[in-house]
Every structure is written in structure tokens, then in C-alpha cells.
Amino acid sequence: MASNKIGRINDDIQRVLAAKLRDVKDPRVQQGMISVTRVETTGDLRYCKVWLSVLGLENEKEFRKGLKSASGWLRRELSAVLDLRYTPELVFEVDRSIEYGAHISEMINSLEIRHGDEEDEL
């Protein structure tokens, strides 16, 4: 039962953060299109790890500094929307899975595949 509750809380946090990240006024955070790909909250609701995918990220170091600076405001916004006993401390990670998938797709598309010639020789 507890895992279902944590799952629902993770979904709620992901939904609220996706909306509130657009409202952050720090230019270090607004470097590209930001997507919240995954959220994991600890069982005691003290910490929440948030994975962000950014399309068009220019400077990751500045992006992380901007997120750290805005984390207090985001946490306050979370507490205003969600009715939790504790509002978790937010820890942000950059998710590179979309970039990796695009790179693999590009590599596959760049391969030269011969059809017919090799099949006749076998």
C-alpha cells in the first residue's frame, strides 16, 4: 500500500514541477525546453530526486546553479499545491536518455545497409 501512495505522490510532484518550472524567472534555468522525466521520493518524504531532460541545453553548470537557487521557491510552490506532512527537499539531475536515444538513432540511420547482394552470396 505504501508504494502506491509514494507512486501517486511522485506523479503529483512531477505534474506540479512540470508546470512550475515554466514560471521560474532565472535565465539560467530557461535555457531550453524542460521536461520532468522521472521523480523518486524517499519513503519518509524528506528527499525527492527529480530528473530533467532539457532540449537545447547550453551550459549545464549554470543550469544546475539556477535550479539550486530556485529549489526553495519550487519547494514552497509544491507545499502550496500538495497537502503533504513534509515537503521534500528537491535534488535535481539532468537526464540524458533522450539525447542518447537520438544519438543511437542517428548512428543507425547513418549505416549503409546493402539489400539483395549479400543474400544472393549466402
Query: How many domains is the chain built from?
Result: 1
3-state secondary structure of 63: helix
Q: How far apart are CA 67 and CA 57, in angstroms?
A: 13
Q: How far apart are CA 106 and CA 97, in angstroms?
A: 14
- What letter would DSSP give residue 44? T
| 62: nearest Cα among 90, 39, 33, 30 | 30
- CB-CB neighbours of 92 under 10 Å: 22
Beta bridge partners of 119: none
36-78 residue pLDDT tens: 999 999 989 899 999 998 887 888 889 899 999 999 999 999 9
Q: How far apart are CA 95 and CA 50, in angstroms?
A: 9
What CATH number did the domain enclosing 82 receive? 3.30.300.20
Range of the structural domain that residue 42 is part of:
2-121
10-35 residue pLDDT tens: 999 999 999 999 888 888 888 778 88
Residues 6+ apart with CB under 8 A from 117: none
Entry pTM: 0.77
